[in-house]
């Protein structure tokens, strides 16, 4: 048992199964370690043995942490993946039957997949066919744009939304989407979280951290003595990276003397970004492309940064669903300026840091406003950290368990 997080309050009495492709990554395990410490029974995480990312890279299941609670079990299983929304987990019938042999506690199943997904339908069928006793089934909604799905997916969504015991909702946009789908059932607030073990402000602007991230590409003075402005994320149209570069170019006279600009990420617009860098350097900007950084290095990047810019844009088929990079950066004491696309305004700590998506002049104004606010300050603003604490893994784990416990008794 992880003694540093042992709970003294009364624990919930149900068994929990979570099926989620993202559980191949260890970063997602820590949240459910906290969840398990609020539950007085078994918690089983079901993950594929391997997961194929959209870029084609195969990710193998990470081993569980040595600090995992005794009642938490990570189960890697073979999967048949026909599509990201059509994944068949092997052995689910046996798992449900084993967990419900003794009808001593209800079983709660969280299928972290959309209500229109074949994955969700298959998990629901397995739970209904093989589990004994009382079973509560919840699916997940990250969709925030109404789309005209092919009729089989529309049928699955209509079928499941009238039969599940509730839906885990990523945010306000997703709740609005469910309302448009005429869903009238229970909704469980389930935003993404930041790992408080990794993301914290201790050691900001530390010289050792600077050298580790930059590896000699820039002198430490470019970080310590300047305002460090960062873009971190996919180099793709929906993330607005080209708007960010346009903003720097058009307002170069305002950014060239006091700012160092770092770009971390990879994506379809990588070459376009690299092609723009020499021109921006000629305009007098200090700008560096870091490439894609592994998740474990992101806290170090944020702790040498002052401002993160999230200039996401809404596309006909896609808009920002949440903005996890925002809450991770804020947890490290970084001020974040973001567009009004999708779920971004809901996670920004300060409303006056929001700019109109696609408006590069408004973007520049907001960045410069933050620069004036933080000029000369060395300490992290307490209000920023206090507001962001609502998204910590510890708080959201307790909230999830409480919401589930309420939902299954009401």
Distance, CA of 29 to CA of 64 (rounded, Å): 7
What confidence tier does 5 reach under pLDDT thresholds 50, 70, 90? very low
Distance, CA of 89 to CA of 72 (rounded, Å): 19
Q: Per residue in 96-151, pLDDT tens?
A: 999 999 888 999 999 999 999 999 999 999 999 999 999 999 999 999 998 888 99
Q: Per residue in 185-197, pLDDT tens?
A: 999 999 999 999 9
Distance, CA of 171 to CA of 272 (rounded, Å): 32
Domains of the chain: 3-193+392-409 (3.40.50.2000), 207-390 (3.40.50.2000)
What confidence tier does 55 reach under pLDDT thresholds 50, 70, 90? very low
Give the HSE-up count for residue 188: Cα atoms under 13 Å, Cβ half-sphere.
28
Strands 135-141 and 107-111: parallel
Residue 394 is predicted with a pLDDT of 94
Confidence check: pLDDT of 351 > 50:
yes
Average pLDDT over residues 69-97: 90
Residue 65 is predicted with a pLDDT of 78
Average pLDDT over residues 20-48: 92
**What values do phi and psi take at 187, rounded to 5?**
-125, 130
Average pLDDT over residues 194-206: 85
Confidence check: pLDDT of 166 > 50:
yes
Residue 295 is predicted with a pLDDT of 85
Residue 213 is predicted with a pLDDT of 73
Average pLDDT over residues 21-40: 90
Confidence check: pLDDT of 75 > 50:
yes
Q: Per residue in 294-330, pLDDT tens?
A: 888 999 999 999 999 999 999 988 889 999 999 999 9
Confidence check: pLDDT of 227 > 80:
yes
Strands 50-52 and 58-60: antiparallel
Distance, CA of 281 to CA of 276 (rounded, Å): 9
Confidence check: pLDDT of 42 > 80:
yes
Residue 3 is predicted with a pLDDT of 42
Residue 140 is predicted with a pLDDT of 98
Residue 376 is predicted with a pLDDT of 64
Distance, CA of 122 to CA of 92 (rounded, Å): 10
Q: Helix 241-250 and helix 270-282: axis angle, to 10°?
A: 10
Confidence check: pLDDT of 54 > 80:
no
Residue 68 is predicted with a pLDDT of 87
Average pLDDT over residues 254-262: 94
Residue 104 is predicted with a pLDDT of 86
306 within 8 A of 312, measured Cβ to Cβ: no
């Amino acid at each position: 048992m992880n003694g540093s997080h042992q709970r003294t309050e009364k624990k919930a009495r149900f068994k929990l199964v979570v099926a989620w492709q993202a559980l191949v990554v260890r970063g997602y395990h820590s949240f459910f370690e906290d969840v398990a410490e609020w539950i007085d029974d078994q918690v089983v995480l079901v993950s594929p043995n391997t997961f194929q990312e959209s870029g084609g890279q195969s990710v193998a299941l990470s081993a569980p942490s040595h600090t995992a609670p005794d009642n938490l079990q990570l189960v890697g299983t073979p999967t048949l993946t026909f599509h990201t929304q059509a994944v068949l987990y092997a052995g689910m019938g046996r798992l449900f039957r084993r967990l419900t042999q003794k009808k001593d506690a209800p079983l709660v199943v969280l299928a972290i997949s959309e209500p229109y997904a074949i994955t969700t339908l298959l998990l629901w069928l397995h739970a209904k066919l093989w589990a004994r006793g009382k079973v509560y089934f919840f699916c997940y909604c990250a969709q925030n744009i109404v789309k005209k799905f092919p009729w089989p997916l529309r049928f699955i969504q209509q079928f499941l939304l009238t039969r599940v015991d509730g839906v885990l909702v990523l945010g306000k946009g997703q709740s609005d989407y469910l309302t448009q789908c005429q869903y009238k059932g229970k909704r469980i607030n389930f935003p993404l979280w930041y790992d408080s073990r990794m993301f914290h402000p201790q050691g900001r602007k530390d010289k050792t951290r600077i050298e580790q991230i930059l590896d000699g590409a820039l002198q430490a003075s470019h970080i310590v003595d300047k305002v460090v402005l960062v873009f971190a994320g996919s180099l793709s149209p929906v993330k607005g990276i080209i708007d960010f570069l346009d903003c720097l170019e058009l307002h170069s006279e305002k950014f060239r003397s006091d700012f160092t600009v770092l770009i971390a990420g990879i994506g379809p617009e990588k070459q376009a970004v690299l092609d723009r860098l020499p021109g921006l350097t000629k305009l007098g900007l200090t700008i560096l492309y870091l490439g894609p950084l592994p998740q474990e290095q992101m806290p170090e990047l944020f702790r040498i940064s002052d401002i993160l810019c999230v200039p996401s844009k809404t596309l006909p088929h896609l808009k920002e669903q949440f903005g996890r990079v925002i809450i991770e950066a804020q947890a490290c004491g970084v001020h974040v300026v973001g567009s009004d696309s999708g779920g971004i305004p809901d996670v920004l700590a300060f409303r006056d840091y929001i700019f109109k998506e696609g408006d590069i002049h408004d973007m520049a104004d907001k960045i410069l406003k933050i620069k004036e606010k933080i000029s000369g300050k060395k300490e992290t603003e307490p209000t920023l950290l206090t507001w962001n604490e609502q998204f910590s893994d510890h708080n959201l784990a307790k909230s999830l368990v409480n919401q589930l416990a309420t939902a299954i008794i009401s």
